[in-house]
Amino acid sequence: MAWCQAGCLEGVPDRDCGKSACLIRAARDGEREARERLFARLLPLVRQQARRLCGGQARQEDIVQTALLQALAHLSELRRPERFAAWVRRIVTNAFLMEERNRQHEPGGSGEMRETLARSRACEEEMDARRELARILRLAPSLPPVLAETFRLRVVEGLSTREAAERLGVSEEAVRARLSRARKRLREPPG
């Protein structure tokens, strides 16, 4: 069977992905071949997140295995396949935190859990922000020129509402309304 390329693993939904062709949905519905393919696509993502959290420590592979098992066991609970990558990164982070908690109760346990968690969250937030920015920049040219110019001045160039209104020769209320419409269009799924 032909499935999508699972671009949602990288945070980029596949345009060819329909309900019947979605690799993640097929795996979630229990199709063996889809689960195997998803596992193969998932492994590098899980390893990357585990490496980021563990810093190359020996227990990295334990966390990878735990996270993969958790992800596959709870795949039926995934409500939004387009958020699959973030969901998996969260599972890896949780597996790491559980490992850290267990280690803290052992003699010589690590006291660096909070620092590592903070780095992980900051990394995750930065990755999500970069993906969102890339998505918005891809969609911005499709806005009508009036909305695109307002969006560019306020969001990209960082002008205040008053400065944008002066540059565009319109009222501040018009700038706010245009920016609101631009943001609404950019949030809407393509289609």
Distance between CA atoms of residues 81 and 77, nearest Å = 10
Average pLDDT of the segment spanning 108-116: 58
Q: Residue 152 in contact with residue 136, Cβ under 8 Å?
A: no
pTM of full prediction above 0.75: no
Q: pLDDT by residue (tens digit) across 3-46?
A: 566 655 555 555 555 555 677 777 777 788 877 887 788 788 88
Q: Residue 137 in contact with residue 171, Cβ under 8 Å?
A: no
Instruction: Delimit the domains of the chain by residue range.
Output: 7-123, 143-191
Given a cut of 70, is residue 57 above it in pLDDT?
no
Q: pLDDT by residue (tens digit) across 138-185?
A: 777 788 889 888 888 888 788 899 999 999 999 999 999 998 998 888
Confidence of residue 109 (pLDDT cuts 50, 70, 90): very low
Pick the CATH number of 7-123 from 1.10.1740, 3.40.50, 1.20.1330, 3.40.190: 1.10.1740
Structure-block tokens of residue 114: 């909070």
Token pair 């540059």 is found at 167
Given a cut of 60, is residue 111 above it in pLDDT?
no
What CATH fold (topology level) applies to the domain 143-191?
Arc Repressor Mutant, subunit A (1.10.10)
Confidence of residue 108 (pLDDT cuts 50, 70, 90): very low
